[in-house]
Amino acid sequence: MIELRTPAEIEQMRPVGRFVAETLQALKREVTVGMNLLHIDKRAHELIRRAGAESCYIDYAPSFGSGPFGHVICTSVNESVLHGMPFDYALKDGDLLTLDFAVSLNGWVADSAISFVVGTPRAEDLALIDTTERALAAGIAAAQPGGKVGDISAAIAKVARADGLKINTDFGGHGVGRTMHGDPHIPNAGRAGRGFPLKPGLVIAIEPWFLQSTDELITEQRDGWTLSSADGSRGAHSEHTIAITEDGPIILTQA
């Protein structure tokens, strides 16, 4: 079921969007070489409790995961790109890290993700991150009232294909509101002018993610959750929660 939010409800969603954005930026500043992924999860948990928010992940148990997630943030490293379950791993110099974070505050949800390099970056990693960020910006720019979901998908795909990347459409953007995942599904490739109408009041997460040399994913056996590239190439992921208004899209998860 797709629900449209009133202007007043969109205003009510701003605090959770701001909290998600500020938490991701705070964690990015704190992450250093040698930091354990479990420490990042612990720190995110502390910030959630301090804000009086609730994690959308800890009890999350969809069909594509192995039981409740059990943590409050996704930490995907190098070849892992989505649903990275924190585990006992100390970050190394040059690791490409994605943090994906969603919480509920005052009954509203926001969802966002960032990718960055810990320590010394490799040029190809920075280029991949840049592609996801430009694809996200293009998708947001295409999220105009009167358009279609396919406009967003096509805009994202145009950026990725111009950089020679393959696109997996199994996982992508989604509706956001009282819960983390809702309709409509927003794949990272599609045809402009097709799909669900983009109406004022629609709140969605747009999340381009790409792998350097494949579009195939495998599920890591260590946890039954973490999705990694089938060929070991690295991945990056950028995500914002946005609201479509009469005047165009507004980004809710912006610090």
- Cite the annotated binding site by residue number: 83, 100, 111, 174, 181, 207, 239
> What does the angle CA 59 – CA 65 – CA 70 come to, to the nearest 5 degrees?
30
Show the tokens assigned to 89.
């791993």
Report residue 23 CA to chain centroid gap.
14
- Cite the annotated binding site for a divalent metal cation by residue number: 100, 111, 174, 207, 239
Helix (H), strand (E) at residue 105: strand 96-105
- Cite the annotated binding site for substrate by residue number: 83, 181
Contact (CB, 8 A) for 55 and 103: yes
User: Helix, strand or coil for residue 86?
Assistant: coil
Crossing angle for the helix pair 37-51 and 7-30, to the nearest 10 degrees: 140
Helix, strand, coil: what percent of the chain each, to 5? 30, 25, 45
